[in-house]
């Protein structure tokens, strides 16, 4: 079952500044902020596509802001090495409690679109992937960690 839908804003190296701006402007609560350098290293996964170039350790991988009504806003810098442009600065994240349902939705949204990150286990989710659908909308599909 779908457990949440929230906007995910991406920035070009100034996500930390933007995070603090939105916390204040929206009277929100900063729940967590993680840099790329703080992310756990997974030596079992060798992927040049997702390896970090030097000097990006302080960029924001994920910031979570809870608004007064309980809604969530997520913020990140664009993954190092990927180009920032208007169009990839906003994505919608769908979070599920069921792996198979998440996989089915991911596959349906990917039809006629392009996959940014194949569905896979990450340190924050048993199944996560990203894609751009046939209409150019960016999606992140995630399963709640058990």
> Looking at the predicted structure, is the pLDDT value of residue 86 above 80?
no
Average pLDDT, integer, range 4-11: 91
> Looking at the predicted structure, is the pLDDT value of residue 63 above 60?
yes
pLDDT of residue 137: 83
State what percent of residues in the chain have pLDDT above 90.
64
pTM exceeding the 0.85 threshold for the entire prediction: no
pLDDT of residue 50: 56
Alpha helices in 47-124 (DSSP H): 99-110
Dist. CA 55–CA 22, nearest whole Å = 25
* Residues 36, 59 contacting (CB under 8 angstroms): yes
Query: CA dist 2 to 5, 48, 94, 101, Å?
Result: 8, 32, 7, 8
* Residues 72, 122 contacting (CB under 8 angstroms): no
CATH architecture of 2-35+59-143: Roll (3.10)
Rounded to the nearest integer, the mean pLDDT of the chain is 88
Every domain of the chain and the residues it spans: 2-35+59-143
């Amino acid at each position: 079952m779908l457990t949440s839908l929230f906007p995910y804003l991406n920035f070009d190296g100034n996500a930390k500044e933007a995070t603090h701006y939105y916390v204040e402007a929206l009277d929100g609560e900063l729940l967590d902020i993680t840099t790329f350098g703080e992310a756990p290293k997974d030596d079992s996964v060798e992927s040049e596509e997702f390896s970090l170039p030097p000097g990006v350790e302080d960029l924001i991988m994920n910031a979570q802001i809870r608004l007064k009504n309980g809604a969530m806003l997520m913020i990140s810098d664009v993954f190092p090495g990927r180009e920032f442009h208007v169009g990839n600065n906003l994505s919608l994240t769908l979070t599920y409690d069921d792996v198979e349902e998440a996989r089915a939705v991911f596959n349906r949204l990917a039809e006629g679109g392009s996959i940014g990150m194949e569905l896979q286990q990450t340190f924050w989710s048993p199944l996560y992937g990203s894609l751009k659908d046939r209409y150019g909308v960016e999606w992140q599909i995630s399963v709640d960690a058990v």
